[in-house]
Chain A
Amino acid sequence: MYPAPFHYHRAESLEGAISLLAELGDSARALAGGQTLLVWMKLRFDEPQHLVDVSRIPGLSEIRQQAGDEVCIGALATHAEIARSAIAEALPNVLDCGSGIADAQIRSRGTIGGALGSADPSCDWPTLLHTFDAVLTCTGPEGTRTIPVSELVEDIYTTILKPAELITEIRFKIPPENSGGAYCGFKRCAPAYPTASAGVQLTLEDDICSAIRIALGSAGLTTITSQEAEAVLQGNPLTEANIDKATEAIVAAADPVPDQRGSEDFKRAVLRTLVKRAIDIAGRRCHGEIIKGHHEYV
């Protein structure tokens, strides 16, 4: 499979990339890991005339923890780099998510910024980052601004980013003690997108739940969240009845698209299982239990 002809430009700096993208306009795409873009080009679903390769811009792939317990992940950090980082060691749901994306080749090429920018509801990182209330630093011709992850995506494959504006960094707070998170994906095989996925983050004090976040991936045209579901658990214990009620609320908010990965009913059944499993794992992790919870394959 060969893409239509295009011109290749390698950006040496963020400023250079932005000005080149601004100059080339609609006929250009920014290329990071190519996990999504190159496939689309090879299928000739997208035929840009220019590719601006941003992957070698220095300083944009750093993964660090800074003052105030804030995690900063450069947009060009690959899935594999994040899964191997100290952050993933501290936050098992980051490991669950990063190490379960596609296969080893893709994990060593695909970037977290690319996954966000593609606005594809099947991507794993956006779902997880919703549970951390992450904030994105974005830089464009008009300067730098921050965008909450929940506001990034307007519609499937469409972000609110302006022309030539790039995501440069992802930031979120490390949850306080007595917190736990989980990310559970279900997929047919390594190269397949998940059939469905669920992320949960919560804090338990005296068995009472707070700071609850639940998000679903591959469950609609964008990441699915539900304040109603979170409200069921907020300030309440993780009883079976509460978990069921919260699960039903978020599964009701989901709008899964029937396709060859399953009917709508089937996907709701998978989501139901994944949400319950993720709440269970998150709750047990609040108590310091070590649980391996990764993607599950058929």
Chain B
Amino acid sequence: MSWIGKSPNRKEDVRLIRGQGYFVDDKQDYGLLHLHLVRSPYAHAHIINVDVAAAEALPGVICTLTGAEVKELMPESFMELGPEPAANIQDYPMAVGKVIFQGEPVAAVVAETPALAADGGALVDVDYDMLDAVITAEQAMEDEEVLHESAGTNKTWQGVYEYGEVDAAFDEAATVVKIDRMHFHRFASTPVENNAVVAEWKRHGELDFFCNNSFVGFAQQLLAPALGVSVDQMHIKTHDIGGSFGNKISNYTQMAIAALASRKAGGRPVKWAETRTEHLLSSGHGNERTFLDTEVALDKNGVITAVRSRHIDDCGAYPRYEPLGCVIWSQVLPATYGVRNFRIDFSQAVTNKCPAVPNRGYSRMQHLWFMERIIDICAHKLDIPADEMRLRNYITEFPYTTPNGCVYDSGNYPAMLEKAKELIGWDDWKKKQADARAEGRLLGIGIGTTLDSGTNNFGQARIMNPHLPFSGNSEVATIRIDLQGSVIVTLGSGPSGQSHETTTAQVVAEELGINPDLVRVRSGFDTGWNTFVGHSGSYASQFAVTGLSAVHGACEKLKAEMRRLAAFILEASEEDLEFGIGEEGPQLSVKGTDQAVNYWYMGNLVNNDNAVLAGELGDVTLNIRHVYRPPFTVPDVERKYGNLTLTYAAQLHIAVIEIDRDFGHPRILAYAAVDDCGTVINPKIVGGQVHGATAHGIGAAIMETFQYDETGNLLTSSFSDYCPITSMNMPDVQYGSIQTPSPFSYSGAKGMGEGGGAPLHTVSAAVQDALITEGIIVTDSHHSVTSVFELLRSKDESSGVQVDKR
């Protein structure tokens, strides 16, 4: 029986649907204290004074921390990934002297209960001297108000990505389309569990964290120097995590505050559990991108030959991890299209807004949206149907090397388009659209093609900062047969809802010829298991490749040991043995005989009863640690050239949207989503992630935005105002898939889960198609009812698009 491509019940559900999950805030402990953060109501202000006397006098309050104190306690500020001058930014987890964004912590209160900590927080008196806020990246680039004096500028990164013969392509173009300005808005993924941590800085110097960080391999490398401990002195664990979507990569700053608070409180454990308002205000937003002076060269057939443009990322108050976003988009430089000539001038700037963090579809989504807008705008301007425009431009030969050296492993975009058209009933909707237009109704049909590049080559970080000591990628799994014969697996991935326990059990069951129920996969992550490397974590659509390849490799090594051991016990040759399940459970047997040895016997022999081995097989431990490393090389930093990711899953969505003329309400009438992530390990889990990514993307496209006023005050800091998508807002999704196996992974699987922001491209395309009869060009990614209302109103204004036919 093969377990690959099946959907056994999720192992995680046994506890999760019974309310037996174990999340950070579930942790209780003797002497546990609670931490409350006092946050700045202002986006940009000098801190004149922080008075904690009244808070400290409150019975039940154990201690407080201020920014100045945090600076004293930390041997150095957090490392910034970017190069100088941004590398000089003094980045502490609490504001020191100056507040850079609304919601930035300015003090912490530690008390016996969460309520007392909050009461203490209300007694902290902070004097501020307000400064003008810098709200847009374009404004920040002018450097009139410099946010970080230590950097001396708001421009934290700049680089030009140039490939091919750009100017020649423009000289030869039949048509040049110019788009003045486009903008991808700010939102995040709203994990159901907020950030949380319990830190315990033990008196003997070791530091324990029970947390929900989703990239511990990386976080530990930032925490250790900033806290003045070695990586090995920190014991970091996770268990169940209620979603991360990249957002929880960056909660190491709050982990540091909790650790310092525990140390000040004499080593008592300290819990910090974020509220939803804190999460929306200050935990991390997805990055916002502005595209300026875009020019697109096309030949006479509507095939795009070159793109040149200027892109600016707004990374909020602190760059931290974020300069990586200045490179990560180039994993998908030409999107799904065969464009060979590019010049993209890419910059990043700090603003007085919440720091940007990785967010589902991180950095590639913004660029893919940009490329899809180009396709649709050019199609409309050249009067080429949107489906035809894509078919003329899609990449069709694989593996495909992009102009910047990335290798698209496999794919079949025309087949996906065909399948999505079938699911939605394309021809029928085309007729309905013609009828609607005849009646003056605004009905649009939009296509979005996107990529979900996975298993990244960290060497791309050096394109952003050549001094970074990162490259390649890796993940770890351990597998052992314990002394009772159980199969035990531990993972380095620290999942947050991606069902790693289930898919791991499927791979192990497949390899050992047993049942997933017989495989125990430990939940969560624990540095104490020794199952981690610097890349360990759940991010960037990679577990099906990195994690499961580690599991697969570990299985192969374990099987080799088991064969040798069983051959010795059964006095048989290794070639005659087969894996399977017998009357006494999982076993190895001699083919065609009733001779067999079960796992219990083998586990006991190695761990308990080794004199029987009479000194043989001394290297067999049945305890395997395997590290998977994808075959990457370090990119050429000067040329910004190299293979940046191993696999390229693809999504193709189609939406039908009708816009209410009276007040702009965009109603989704039909929606189809087609996914290709190569060989599917578990269709139910893939389907779940496709639906989740679709919901996130539709939410982002029509509802969710972090809207700031000119003083840097966040107007959407509660669910009532941010309006994350709910089932009431979801259309029925017609879901289908194709499979183009990756030649670069052992199983043909590709990493998936982020979804590439397909609904954003698709909804923008459908809104564009609905409004094209009004002469309106869509240049923003947010289509809330209010923004569509404004679009309808603005139809007389210039769209900022010019077409130059040669």
Contacts and interface: CB of A to CB of B under 8 A. Distances in A.
A160 interface: no
B663 A269 contact: yes
A266 B275 contact: no
Contacts of B702: 298
B723 interface: yes
Contacts of A270: 663
Given A5-B119, A192-B721, A269-B663, A297 B789 contact: no
A297 B728 contact: yes
A269 B715 contact: no
B115 interface: yes
A4 B119 contact: yes
A266 B664 CA distance: 9
Closest 7 CB pairs of A and B: A269-B663, A2-B118, A188-B723, A2-B115, A189-B723, A260-B715, A273-B662
Given A269-B789, A273-B662, A193 B720 contact: yes
A58 interface: no
Contacts of B118: 1-2
A195 B663 CA distance: 12
B789 A298 contact: no
B581 interface: no
B712 to A, nearest CB: 15
B707 A189 contact: no
A259 B707 CA distance: 11
A260 B728 contact: no
A269 B786 contact: no
Given A263-B786, A272-B662, A189 B729 contact: yes
A3 to B, nearest CB: 8
B608 interface: no
B434 interface: no
Contacts of B115: 2, 5
A298 B662 contact: no
Query: Which of A1, A273, A296, A298 is packed against the most chain B CB atoms within 10 Å?
Result: A298
A266 B716 contact: no
A259 to B, nearest CB: 8
Interface string B721-739: 1011110110000000000
Interface string B757-799: 0000000000000000000000000001110011001000000
A266 B723 contact: no
Given A266-B790, A297-B729, 8 more contacts: A1-B118, A189-B703, A195-B785, A261-B786, A269-B663, A272-B662, A296-B665, A298-B784
Interface residues of A, number: 29
Contacts of B398: none
B415 interface: no
Query: Which of B277, B662, B663, B707 is packed against the most chain A CB atoms within 10 Å?
Result: B663
B: interface residue count bin? 20 to 34
22 contacts: A4-B119, A43-B277, A103-B726, A186-B665, A188-B785, A189-B719, A189-B724, A189-B725, A189-B728, A190-B728, A191-B719, A191-B723, A191-B726, A192-B721, A195-B785, A266-B664, A266-B786, A266-B790, A269-B664, A272-B662, A297-B728, A298-B785
A288 interface: no
B384 interface: no
A270 B789 CA distance: 10
A193 B720 CA distance: 7
Contacts of A260: 707, 715-716, 721
Interface string A263-298: 101100110110000000000000000000000111
> By DSSP majority rule, is chain A's interface helix, strand, loop, or mixed?
loop
Interface in B664-686: 664-666
Contact of B122 (A44, A190, A195): A44
B387 interface: no
Nearest to B662: A273
Interface string A133-163: 0000000000000000000000000000000
Contacts of A266: 663-664, 785-786, 789-790
A34 to B, nearest CB: 16
Interface in B98-142: 114-115, 118-119, 122
Contacts of A261: 721, 786
Given A5-B115, A266-B663, A297-B728, A192 B723 contact: yes
Nearest to B725: A189
B787 to A, nearest CB: 10
A5 B729 CA distance: 38
B208 interface: no
Contacts of B728: 189-190, 297
Given A4-B122, A273-B660, A273-B662, A298 B720 contact: no
A171 to B, nearest CB: 31
Contacts of B729: 189, 297-298
B662 A188 contact: no
A176 interface: no
Contact of B662 (A4, A193, A262, A269): A269
B115 to A, nearest CB: 4
A262 B786 contact: yes
Nearest to B730: A297
Contacts of B703: 188-189, 298
Query: Which of B114, B660, B666, B789 is packed against the most chain A CB atoms within 10 Å?
Result: B789
A43 B660 CA distance: 36
B122 to A, nearest CB: 6
A296 B665 CA distance: 10
Query: Which of B666, B703, B728, B729 is packed against the most chain A CB atoms within 10 Å?
Result: B728
Interface in A7-52: 43-44
Nearest to A47: B122
Nearest to B719: A191
